[in-house]
Structure 1
């Protein structure tokens, strides 16, 4: 190859490399955003998938790749490991990360009530009529270190037990959770919809004893003593938000649009937009679960400071690492990226 051709090839290679660097990131330049979800079929994370199914990310000019990571703990691990840019998970993980000196910030809220149902298996190994009876019991959670695990520990402590008095068992959050409860693999479980609604239909509501239900305002007030308890949200490392403000703003806008769609359409209409396999073969139950969950979804995508403080107050009761750390709750969330209306 002559000198002229070598020079042309070198310029072309340099231009290609520059173009690759410009488009390969997840900032406002239009690169791919890797979004990890802590259990994609679960209703608590539904706005994340719904925004994709309705084309909202694309309309915002984003190329979003959704990755189902099965649990909030695994999604958080993926963020820490750098395999995802943003997590659709529970807000409480941002407080956990600040205690570890790893700044993480939630930038759009999806749930204002945690929507956990603490249910007893009809095949429990011993009678369980109250939280006091959980001492020594096996309790299903999506995975150890997840928000369902945090909730288990909180409820144990709130009812006079030690956070370690029950043994958490990883059972996932969808069909595997239903099977674990049906088969007596666990004595009780912290469940989420649509798994809980599926369990009720399969074995009958009269056969499912509920110790706690935080899907409604009444339940949150009774079981957590607050009126707002931020739950599922999009969060990322604080440095990612600083480097990618426009991408975060577009993600927040897409999620807000998905929340608006949920509140302005029937459960059946919302269900029709979701992947059919998420209904686990029962479209009617899935639609009913969505309809019942509407009040738990945020009306505006914002995280209330009072709610954030309530989450911190709960976590520090049973997590020494958080209790002993200097936590600035105001740095664990921001509403700066959420559209005003």
Structure 2
């Protein structure tokens, strides 16, 4: 375990505590692709990755457990061991993180693999090069006021469902479930509730009838309610993933970059992939309590026992080797074709959206 002095020496941009969640109130977590680069950043380039330079990684919501390996690799010193300098930036939303990378203010994104498919549909080459999670980690949670009236996806018709933001992975999940159950994509109204405190409050106070949530928000909601919330679809476990998507893998959180950056910085990509692989192995070999002890103290939000418990439960959905599988990427594409009109019937060359070159 690293000393506090060593921890302070690493450059990590800490998000606000989980208990407060204020910093994540408007977070988009795993969100959809941007329409364009940020104003004033078109044509710029982060340029990180050359010898002696720092690789800037934008994270789509640093305290969300789906992105835990990215921060843990820093805390364990694995980036440094591999010989790459890394600057982690919490951009509190997958869409924001992707937009920053396309605009050139970051080099690599810690975001959801599906973004690479979305960007190919926009004719912008983006490629994922290490996979961290075998599931999107989403749960469709019912507000307490509706627990007796909403028992299945079919009961969502005419109801208001909360998602992190329109076009996000949480939104796509709702649309996929509606379609899978023979419903129209607009049979349920969609409301943006963000992530963190805003999402927990929206469900707890009944501002929405149901919501798609990620960890640790689901666990925080249960603690606030004093009981386990009603969940009608849950892909946080391998069993739930198989039930919903019919697959053992649905790659979500990953490291991805533009194809141009990867071509110019193959050694940096290899070092990043190696650091994440070592981190995934560390997670597999250690308990939730041991992992939580290595993470920034603020991430536990004053409740390290709960934080460790959620990490332990999350471990089963993490990749063991950082590699993508053909079955997994096909499952993500199927979801996008059903739920995302921008992908729809567009010609998508999956082999150009990911690579296992750097993890092998």
Residue 306 of structure 1 pairs with residue 306 of structure 2 = no
Confirm whether residue 198 of structure 1 aligns to residue 210 of structure 2: no
Alpha-carbon distance in 2 for matches of 1:139, 1:278? 28
Report if the CA contact (8 A) 2:172-2:335 is conserved: no
Name 1:253's counterpart in structure 2.
274
Between 297-306 and 276-285, report the one with greater CA deviation: 276-285
Choose which of 177, 185, 189 in structure 1 pairs with 2:207. 185
Greater radius of gyration (CA) = 1
Q: Distance in 2 between matches of 1:248 and 1:180?
A: 39
* Residue 327 (str. 1) matches residue 311 (str. 2): no
| Equivalent in 222, 229, 244 of residue 223 of structure 1 | 244
Question: For 1:278 and 1:161, how far apart are their aligned partners in 2?
Answer: 39
Aligned partners of 2:85 and 2:168: how far apart in 1?
28
The one-character-per-residue Cα deviations of 1:55-103 (angstroms, maximum 9, x if unpaired) are: 1112222221111122212222222222211111111111111111101
Contact kept? 2:247, 2:327, Cα under 8 Å: no
Residues 121 and 184, structure 1, Cα contact 8 Å, conserved in 2: yes
Q: Give the structure with the higher percent helix.
A: 1
RMSD: 1.7
Task: State whether residues 73 and 145 of structure 1, in contact with CA within 8 Å, keep that contact through their aligned partners in structure 2.
Answer: no
Whole-Å Cα distance in 2 between the matches of residues 166 and 82 of structure 1?
Answer: 37
Q: 2:79 — aligned with what? A: 57
Q: 1:264 maps to which residue? A: 285
214-223 or 160-169, which moves further after superposition? 160-169
Aligned-residue offset at 1:260:
0.9
Q: CA distance change for structure 1 residues 31 and 320 in 2, over 3 Å: closer, same or farther?
A: same
Q: 1:184 is paired with a residue of what secondary structure? A: coil
The equivalent residue for 2:122 is: 100
Secondary structure in 2 aligned to 1:255?
A: helix
In 2, are the aligned partners of 1:41 and 1:174 still within 8 Å (CA)?
A: no
Q: TM-score, normalised to structure 1's length?
A: 0.88
- Counterpart CA distance in 1 for 2:227 and 2:180 is 26
